[in-house]
Structure 1
Amino acid sequence: MSAPATTATIWDHQRLWVTLGAVALIFLAAIEALAVTTVMPIVSEALDGEALFAVAFAGTLATSVIGMVATGAWSDAKGPRGALYAAVALFIAGLLISGLALTMHQFLIGRLVQGLGAGGQTVALYVLVARLYPPNLHGRIFAAFAAAWVVPSMIGPFLAGAVAEYLDWRWAFLGVAVLTSAAFVLVAVRLRGVDLGGGEPQDRRALVVRLLLAVVVAVLAVAIGFSAELSPAVGWPVALGAMILIGCAVLPLLPRRTLRAGAGLPSVVLMRGIAAGAFFAAEAYIPYLLMRKYDFSATWAGIALMLAALAWAGASALQGRFGERLGNHRITVIALSALLIAMLCVLAAALFDVSAALVVVGWGFAGGGMGLLYPRLTVLTLAYSDETNQGFNSSALSISDATGSAVAIAFAGLGVASLGGGADAFAVVFAFGAVLIALAIVPGLRLGHAAETPAR
């Protein structure tokens, strides 16, 4: 399948349609992610579910852990084809349920189903890349995935806000479901006959244990989100207890020494979870802050996210081209510095009477930092993997991402609810994000140099 190293590209005739199909799925997932962030303030108000605002994000991320574990095992055992198809089908089903929901709880059910598919799709695509692309192309294909956010970042937030403001928020979900269905047909046709490799026999007992642990992690993460409906005196003990249990349950799903920031792959996986938690917990409240404090419309709040998304895509392209030259330590320092600047900017906006431009420009630094960091961590994960553990390691990276994001968003929602939910209360979210970024320095300096050596 592989062309000679000197001529192989992600767009050569052997990989063209696979690349286009995979990028199309990333593109539509980006549209949906940006749409949810923009329209959720309107959805929570329309369905009388403002107390469950954070659960709409955390719940999807939590159930995605189940999808990641199942898809990782499926891909290791039989290859990524069937796993990818099942994941996309669940993603579409979840969008339809949410788009047709009449109550906030029905909407959340759709988000939970959608999470199963979204998590599985991510892992399946990572394994697909590992099976079809040589190691020297991994940086470029993941940069292409990130670049698939460019057009959504230009039109997605604005379009979602405009749809919610002038038509109905439901079309932000139903429209993506229709487009994803069309893309799914294209992908299925283009992957037909492509050799995706075989699999290895799996320990069924170990798989069942891992799936049960993933369910426990998901349930506990959702429980943290629902604790916002309780009084702070009850909600915080419940949330803290759930977090401790999540830490215990997630251990077998990650490489050994992950929570201790072990050198190499463990630190790669841990850093992904911390950085994701900081970024996505804060971003969930950016449109809310702009609408609540600065009286932005849904359309303009969506536009405010464009700069960060564009910066993410641009930085990812730079990483794909110059990542080896920069090296892991430099990328870590630059990315975390940009993220910290962003957190401090939006924190100042939440606390003081400053221009909304500080939010928009400041959050652009966050997008740039994540654009450098995210694809680099994925490249490192594959470099530390071989054909026997690509599914496990890819799912571990995504599990860390989703679990870190779900727990951080849930705690952010609990913090906002405890402080009364006003614009000033959003400051606790951004301060929390700054603390997480500072903590990410520890694993960030222990990533190792697997990217500089051929994958096994």
Structure 2
Amino acid sequence: MSHGAPSTRPEGVLSRRYRLATLGMCALIAIAAFESLAVTTIMPIISAELDGESLYSLSFAAPLASGLVGMVVAGNWADRSGPRVVVIASMLLFAVGLVVVGTSPDMVVLLLGRLVQGLGSGAVIVGLYVMVARLYPPALHPSIFAGFAAAWVVPALVGPLIAGVVADTVGWHWVFLGAVGLAVPAFVMILPSLERVPPPVVGDGERPVRWSVARILWAVGAAVGVLLLNLVGEFPAGVSAAVIVGAVAVLAIALRPLLPTGTLRAARGLPTLVLLRGLVGAAFLASEVYIPYMLAAEYDFSSSTSGIALTLGALGWAFASWLQGRLGDRVRQRAGIRLGIALVLTGLVAATLTPLLHLAPVGLIATWTVAGFGMGFMYPRFSVLALALSTAADRGFNSSALTISDSAGSAVVLALSGAAFGVLGGASNPAAFVACFAIGVAVAALALVLSGRAVPRGR
């Protein structure tokens, strides 16, 4: 019998030490996922009740724009002071934004609430990631991030249905106010663990992290450019062209310091990889937000049933994420990304043809599941490749650039879709939906063309 040192089982993410933090953070991710899917499902009702059809795309672009600022500020703040104050402040902003949206008497107040909500949600994700890095040992990081991914599954299954039923029965306001009620206990669960997170330690000879005022101002500039693009339809015809030129210029100038050099001109390697993330995310999201709208306007779907495509797409995404993790290196990153873009294109083409040819919506719903699978099979590969193509000194910058490209790209394409939707007469004209989905097809096709520049052969 051996009398050596007794072996100790390593603590897991659900061990006594980490259980509350793990469950609380996963609950917050699940609530964010529910809110995202819920808004897409019920926004057609909201825009009709508040007479805000012309601002439909802006209701989605606004939180993306303010989220850019939230992510940059939160990252800088967490590096200076640790994640505790970041998570608390961002959760308060997120909750305030939800309350403002849930009590909105008109579309302008709703948009202000969406801006506050986006500022908080962009910041809280960064804060939670820093919390994971500071609280959990590296061996547990894959498990907790897998938990974050799994936290999207239940909202995908029931989120659109619940949001639709609530909107059809007690009113859409309670979708947002209910989310606040759910977030409070989740937030309380992580507070004790936040107290245990050690503050950043400045080593001998190292300077404390300073506020990156320039980077924050660039993020504000990018957000302003995004918002101006999405407001083009509100300006007189003679002014719109000048606003578009000015907004594009502001956005291009502001994004350059936030992205790897050469991103906006699709330089080979990492810059195009970052650009590609923005393109495929934009093609998918900017089209997805119009699917429940089209199903309701053209096929008389109720709020509780128009979200079925979103549910199946999200489930396809979750299953593909799990599958690509199981496959590992058996599918090369280049092939996986190209396959993902091709599957997204399949869903986008089906979405375009459905209102164009007055096809039965069952084909669109089925192919949107395929598009979601394509996103799930492709998206994790961007992070893996970005880290592989980065040095130790720029991993954080490049990782944040992926998210910034994602948000900015989606907001820009939403602006294009919204402009086309308004010019063609909105929901009363099927051609308006055709144009929105066709823009997604064009953006995804561009991504497929550029994919060879993003991923080196052999990877």
2:323 paired residue number: 318
2:182 paired residue number: 179
Gaps of 5+ in 1: none
Q: Single out whichever of 421-430 and 376-385 deviates more from structure 2.
A: 376-385
Are residues 267 and 137 of structure 1, via their aligned partners in 2, closer, same or farther at CA, if it must alter by over 3 Å? farther
Are residues 82 and 279 of structure 1, via their aligned partners in 2, closer, same or farther at CA, if it must alter by over 3 Å? same
Larger Rg: 1 or 2? 2
2:347 aligned residue (342, 353, 360): 342
Residues 426-441 of structure 1 correspond to what in structure 2 (within 5 A)?
A: 426-441=433-448
Q: In 1, Cα distance between the equivalents of 2:388 and 2:92?
A: 30
Q: In 1, Cα distance between the equivalents of 2:127 and 2:387?
A: 13
Task: Confirm or deny: 8 A CA contact 1:153 1:306 kept in the other structure.
Answer: yes
Task: Confirm or deny: 8 A CA contact 1:291 1:298 kept in the other structure.
Answer: yes
Q: In 2, Cα distance between the equivalents of 1:418 and 1:264?
A: 38
Deviation at 1:439, TM superposition (A): 1.9
2:45 aligned residue (42, 45, 50): 42
Deviation at 1:159, TM superposition (A): 0.6
Q: In 1, Cα distance between the equivalents of 2:270 and 2:84?
A: 26
Q: In 2, Cα distance between the equivalents of 1:438 and 1:177?
A: 39
1:126 paired residue number: 129
1:100 paired residue number: 103
Are residues 286 and 136 of structure 1, via their aligned partners in 2, closer, same or farther at CA, if it must alter by over 3 Å? farther
Deviation at 1:324, TM superposition (A): 3.4
Deviation at 1:326, TM superposition (A): 2.0
Task: Confirm or deny: 8 A CA contact 2:337 2:381 kept in the other structure.
Answer: no
Are residues 78 and 387 of structure 1, via their aligned partners in 2, closer, same or farther at CA, if it must alter by over 3 Å? farther
Are residues 15 and 222 of structure 1, via their aligned partners in 2, closer, same or farther at CA, if it must alter by over 3 Å? same
Residues 408-427 of structure 1 correspond to what in structure 2 (within 5 A)?
A: 408-421=413-426, 422-427=429-434
Are residues 56 and 283 of structure 1, via their aligned partners in 2, closer, same or farther at CA, if it must alter by over 3 Å? same
Task: Confirm or deny: 8 A CA contact 1:261 1:442 kept in the other structure.
Answer: no
2:70 paired residue number: 67
2:451 paired residue number: 444
2:257 paired residue number: 252
Deviation at 1:234, TM superposition (A): 4.2
Are residues 145 and 442 of structure 1, via their aligned partners in 2, closer, same or farther at CA, if it must alter by over 3 Å? farther
Give secondary structure in 1 for the equivalent of 2:94.
Answer: helix
Are residues 383 and 142 of structure 1, via their aligned partners in 2, closer, same or farther at CA, if it must alter by over 3 Å? farther
2:3 paired residue number: none
Are residues 282 and 110 of structure 1, via their aligned partners in 2, closer, same or farther at CA, if it must alter by over 3 Å? same
Letter in 2 for 1:429: C
Letter in 1 for 2:371: A
Q: In 1, Cα distance between the equivalents of 2:128 and 2:452?
A: 28
Work out the percentage of aligned pairs sharing the same amino acid: 45
1:133-157: CA deviation from partner (whole Å, max 9, x where unpaired): 6777656544432221111111100
1:302 paired with 2:307, answer yes
Residues 271-282 of structure 1 correspond to what in structure 2 (within 5 A)?
A: 271-282=276-287
Deviation at 1:88, TM superposition (A): 1.6
- TM-score of the two chains, using structure 2 as the length reference: 0.89
Deviation at 1:26, TM superposition (A): 1.0
1:25 paired residue number: 28
1:76-114: CA deviation from partner (whole Å, max 9, x where unpaired): 333333222222221111001110111110111000000
Letter in 2 for 1:356: P
Which structure has the higher relative contact order (CA within 8 Å, separation 6+)? Answer: 1
1:377 paired with 2:382, answer yes
Deviation at 1:50, TM superposition (A): 1.2
Give secondary structure in 2 for the equivalent of 1:62.
Answer: helix
Q: Single out whichever of 291-300 and 252-261 deviates more from structure 2.
A: 252-261
Q: In 2, Cα distance between the equivalents of 1:246 and 1:429?
A: 22
Deviation at 1:286, TM superposition (A): 0.5
Gaps of 5+ in 2: 1-6
1:208 aligned residue (186, 189, 213): 213
Are residues 441 and 447 of structure 1, via their aligned partners in 2, closer, same or farther at CA, if it must alter by over 3 Å? same
Q: In 2, Cα distance between the equivalents of 1:163 and 1:434?
A: 33
1:154 paired with 2:157, answer yes
Q: Single out whichever of 17-26 and 124-133 deviates more from structure 2.
A: 124-133
Q: In 2, Cα distance between the equivalents of 1:125 and 1:356?
A: 39
2:338 paired residue number: 333
Deviation at 1:240, TM superposition (A): 4.2
1:113 paired with 2:116, answer yes
Are residues 273 and 70 of structure 1, via their aligned partners in 2, closer, same or farther at CA, if it must alter by over 3 Å? same
Are residues 269 and 30 of structure 1, via their aligned partners in 2, closer, same or farther at CA, if it must alter by over 3 Å? same
2:195 paired residue number: 192
Deviation at 1:323, TM superposition (A): 3.5
Deviation at 1:255, TM superposition (A): 2.2
Query: How well do the aligned residues superpose, as a CA RMSD in angstroms?
Result: 2.7
Are residues 250 and 318 of structure 1, via their aligned partners in 2, closer, same or farther at CA, if it must alter by over 3 Å? same
Q: In 1, Cα distance between the equivalents of 2:93 and 2:70?
A: 10
Task: Confirm or deny: 8 A CA contact 2:80 2:210 kept in the other structure.
Answer: no
Letter in 2 for 1:438: A
2:409 paired residue number: 404
Q: Single out whichever of 13-22 and 402-411 deviates more from structure 2.
A: 13-22
Q: In 2, Cα distance between the equivalents of 1:202 and 1:58?
A: 31
Task: Confirm or deny: 8 A CA contact 1:142 1:320 kept in the other structure.
Answer: no
Are residues 445 and 87 of structure 1, via their aligned partners in 2, closer, same or farther at CA, if it must alter by over 3 Å? farther
